[in-house]
Structure 1
Amino acid sequence: MNLDAITTIEDCQKLLTAEIKTFPDWPEKGVNFKDVQSILYKPELALITSHYLQELLPKQDVDFLFNKILCFDARGFLFGFDLAKASKTPMILARKPGKLPGEIITQTFEKEYGLDEIQVQKSLINPGDKVLIHDDLLATGGTAGAAAEIILKCGAEIAGFNFIMDLSFLPGRKVLQQYVDDSKIKALLTF
């Protein structure tokens, strides 16, 4: 893989589209699972992905338009930490129940495969914060929508959403449009 050949976001998108593996009928029949492992297995591909995800971050001139980034357990952590470091903003972990200490906020949501919950430590999101939500994949919008609800419960603002992949044939983007304008929902790839 020649990193020098990837000079635009379009080059990155073509490369990722070719490299990301799809597993049909997993974890259940009818689901075509897009596997982020394809990116992680090749360090050069992960570097390129991280670089172009950073290009999608909401900013005006040199100033970022968010002051915290919320990322999901576990795949959202992988590139979310790179985004937090690049923007010099705190990263907040959204995790499954029973994984976080202290006072927490829980939000139940519907996923592609049934009901689920995420939790965030309550003291990390405050009124006036502008929180960017990052995950690897936008599908039905359940996980990201649950994070948006937690942010609103804390009196903070949703700065936008950032994903590696958007499965545009699923309703996720429409779900998130109830929280922000479509221009604030960014994905490196659309399938």
Structure 2
Amino acid sequence: MSSTDLADLLSARIRDVADYPKPGVVFKDITPLLADHDAFSALVEHLAERARELGATKVVGLEARGFILAAPAAYAAGAGFVPVRKQGKLPGACYSQAYELEYGSAVLEVQQDALAAGERVLVVDDVLATGGTVEAALELIHRAGAELAGVVVLMELGFLGGRERLAGHLGAAPLETVITV
């Protein structure tokens, strides 16, 4: 499937929810996409293909909707899955990183033994907005000593400047989005 056909298929199954989670925010609801077998499987296969092409040994999914996309993609690519979660949700020793998002702040964590030095990591998430969440995840990957293979995001809200924020954190790794809004 061409990238344009994939973007069209997925875009048709994402709905806008006004004023969620707070007034002025337009939430991109991917639930209809997930409920559609053809759309969901096409997205998972695309993500898995990118993981294989980039030589990823681990696929990191960002809480919470990134888990839904990254776990099946990791499985299909023959890679391990690593969740990056909100503070206090993972047992054991964790690396922590504070970050800002368009409507608040939070802390992300990854278990210290989840990524090893030299592993190639693909980061997967649903939305790239201001870039804070992905930026925090990249810092966690760096602290773990792993190598960034790339970042693939279902949709980019281009008007919020996340891509520009991440430019200095990617090195030679690609940042790819399936849909840009």
TM-score calculated relative to the size of structure 1: 0.87
Q: Look up the equivalent residue of 2:120 and give its one-letter code.
A: K
- Which residue does 2:32 correspond to in 1? 38
- Which residue does 2:164 correspond to in 1? 174
Deviation at 1:49, TM superposition (A): 2.0
* SS of aligned partner of 1:187: strand
Which consecutive residues of structure 2, in runs of 5 or more, have no partner in the other structure? none
Q: Is the 8 A contact 1:58 1:184 kept in 2?
A: no
1:73-103 Cα offsets, whole Å, 9 max, x none, are 2211111012111221111111112211111
Matched, 1:78 2:96: no
Matched, 1:136 2:126: yes
Deviation at 1:58, TM superposition (A): 6.2
| 2:19 equivalent among 25, 38, 60 | 25
Which consecutive residues of structure 1, in runs of 5 or more, have no partner in the other structure? 1-6
Q: Identity of paired residues, percent? A: 35
Distance between the aligned counterparts of 1:29 and 1:48, measured in 2? 33
Deviation at 1:181, TM superposition (A): 5.1
> Does 8-17 or 69-78 show the bigger shift?
8-17
Q: Look up the equivalent residue of 2:6 and give its one-letter code.
A: C
| 1:111 equivalent among 96, 101, 109 | 101
Q: Is the 8 A contact 1:166 1:187 kept in 2?
A: yes
Of structures 1 and 2, the larger Rg is shown by 1
Matched, 1:161 2:155: no
CA RMSD across the alignment: 1.8
Distance between the aligned counterparts of 1:92 and 1:29, measured in 2? 33
Q: Look up the equivalent residue of 1:186 and give its one-letter code.
A: E
Distance between the aligned counterparts of 1:128 and 1:182, measured in 2? 15
Tell me the matched-pair count. Answer: 181
Decide whether aligned partners of structure 1 residues 66 and 53 sit closer, same or farther in structure 2, where only a CA change above 3 A counts.
Answer: closer
Q: Look up the equivalent residue of 2:17 and give its one-letter code.
A: F
